[in-house]
Amino acid sequence: MAYQVQCSQNDDFMIKSEDEHEVIEHVKEHAQEKHDMDLSDDEARDMVQQAS
Ligand SMILES: [Zn+2]
Please give the full DSSP string across 1-18, using - where no structure is assigned: -EEEEE-SSSS--EEEES
Query: What is the per-residue pLDDT for 10?
Result: 86
**Spacing, Cα 35 to ligand 1 middle (Å):** 6
- Per-domain boundaries in the chain: 2-51
Assess whether pLDDT exceeds 90 at residue 47. Answer: yes
Compute the distance from residue 22 Cα to the ligand 1 centre, in Å.
Answer: 17
DSSP β-ladder status, 49-51 and 2-6: antiparallel
Q: In angstroms, what is the span from residue 49 Cα to ligand 1's centroid?
A: 16
Q: List beta partners, residue 6.
A: 14
Ion ligand 1 nearby residues (CB, 5 A)? 7, 9, 11, 13, 34
CATH number of the domain at 2-51, please?
A: 3.10.20
Interval 8-46: pLDDT, tens: 888 999 999 999 999 999 999 999 999 999 999 999 999
